[in-house]
Chains A and B, each alone.
Chain A
Amino acid sequence: GQNIDQPTEMTATEGAIVQINCTYQTSGFNGLFWYQQHAGEAPTFLSYNVLDGLEEKGRFSSFLSRSKGYSYLLLKELQMKDSASYLCAPTSGGFKTIFGAGTRLFVKA
Chain B
Amino acid sequence: DTGVSQDPRHKITKRGQNVTFRCDPISEHNRLYWYRQTLGQGPEFLTYFQNEAQLEKSRLLSDRFSAERPKGSFSTLEIQRTEQGDSAMYLCASSLTGEGYTFGSGTRLTVV
Name A residues whose Cβ lies closer than 8 Å to a Cβ of B.
4, 30, 33, 35, 41-45, 48, 87, 89, 94-102
- Known contacts A4-B42, A30-B98, A96-B33; 14 further A-B pairs (Cβ under 8 A): A41-B105, A42-B104, A43-B43, A43-B103, A45-B100, A48-B99, A48-B100, A87-B42, A94-B48, A94-B56, A96-B45, A96-B56, A99-B35, A100-B42
- Give the A-B contact count at a CB cut-off of 8 A: 50
Q: Say yes or no: B105 contacts A42, CB within 8 Å.
A: yes
A-B contact pairs, 7 of them (CB 8 A): A42-B91, A42-B103, A89-B42, A96-B33, A96-B45, A97-B45, A99-B43
Report Cα–Cα, A41/B55, bound state, in Å. 27
Name B residues whose Cβ lies closer than 8 Å to a Cβ of A.
31, 33, 35, 40-45, 48, 55-56, 91, 95, 97-106
Q: Say yes or no: B98 contacts A45, CB within 8 Å.
A: no
Residue in B40, B41, B101 whose beta carbon sits within 8 Å of that of A97 in the complex? B101
Contacts of B35 in A (CB 8 A): 99
Report Cα–Cα, A25/B42, bound state, in Å. 16
